[in-house]
Amino acid sequence: MISIVFTRSPGIASRLVRSFTGSKVSHVGVAFGIDGIRLVVHAYGRGGVQVQRARPFLFGRTIVAEFAVLAPVSLGPLLDDLGDKYDVGSILRHAARRLGIWSRSPSYSPNALVCSELVAQLPLRAFSDLNPETATPEDLLRRCLDSSEVARLS
């Protein structure tokens, strides 16, 4: 089973993301299983795009919502980005725009991603009209809540 996992944590980075996006979630990843082992692909500040076992991924995080993907989808687009850096600049630009000190649109970093940009690559109709470079975890959560392509697990 493939699922989309939305989390939050008590850390400063999580609080800042939630504050600047007006959301209850600050991080998103895609969980899947191989030979009975639950793994999560996500983009994170320490390590960039990575696959991690579910238990370390969840350490210090609270699952806010999880959605099972109902149709077969390829994780290829996400796994193809393994090893790419985390786009810290994108987070800073989002924050600056929220504070009103940056009015230009964000510049795209082809070899660096944030978590929502990675997950927005899942081939779901719910995400098809999103701009991955500006999508936030909250944007993805709202799309999942309104989509018949996923089923809420928690």
Pairing type for strands 150-152 and 112-113 reads unpaired
CA distance 33 to 99: 40
pLDDT for position 30:
98
Is the CATH number of domain 3-152 3.40.50.720?
Answer: no
Under the banding of pLDDT at 50, 70 and 90, the label for residue 16 is confident
Residue 69 β-bridge partners? 150
Plot region of 35 (φ>0 → left; ψ -120 to 50 → alpha; else → beta): left
pTM: 0.88
CA distance 152 to 133: 25
| Per-residue model confidence as pLDDT tens digits over 119-154 | 999 999 999 999 887 888 999 999 999 999 999 999
